[in-house]
Amino acid sequence: MFQTTRRRLAIWYTTVTAVLLLLFASGFYLYVRETLIERIDDTLNHVVEVVGRSLVIEPVNPHSEGGVLRVNVEASFRDSAATGEDDHIDLEWFSPTGALLWSTLSEPLNVPLNLNSQGETVHMVRGDSGNLGAIVQQPESEEHRDVRTASPNLLTTNNQKLTTAPPVSPDSLILRQVTERIEVGRQVLGYLRVSHPWFEVTKPVRQLVLDLSLGIGLMIAAVAAIGWFLSGLAMEPVRESYQRLKQFTADASHELRSPIAIIQTNVQVALADPDPDPYTQQQHLKVVERLTRRLGRLVDDLLFLARQDSGIVQSRRVGVPLDGLLRDVIEEQQMLAEEKGIELVCCSMEASAKNVTNSITPLGLAEVGSFEGNASGTVPVTATTIAPTQPSTQDWSTLHADRDQLARLFTNLLGNALQYTPSGGKVSVALQQLKRSSNYFLQVVVSDTGIGIPPEALPRLFDRFYRVDLARTQASATGSGLGLAIAQAIVENHRGTIQIDSLLAQGTTVTVTLPQQEEG
Residue 496 pLDDT: 92
Q: How much is the pLDDT for 111?
A: 76
In the chain, which residues have pLDDT < 50? 82, 84, 135-170, 352-394, 470, 472-477, 519-520
Task: Tell me what pLDDT residue 172 has.
Answer: 60
Phi and psi angles of residue 133, each rounded to the nearest 5 degrees, phi first: -135, 155
What is the predicted pLDDT for the residue at 480? 67
Is 497:376 a contact under the CB 8 Å cutoff?
no
Residues 6+ apart with CB under 8 A from 40: 119, 176, 196, 200, 201
Domain boundaries defined on the chain: 55-197, 314-515
The one-character DSSP state at 277 is -
Report the distance separating Cα 380 and Cα 358, nearest Å.
Answer: 10
pLDDT value at residue 350:
57
CATH architecture of the domain with range 314-515 = 2-Layer Sandwich (3.30)
Tell me how far CA of residue 100 lies from CA of 47, 117, 487, in angstroms. 19, 19, 100
Pairing relationship of beta strands 426-436 and 343-350 according to DSSP bridges: parallel
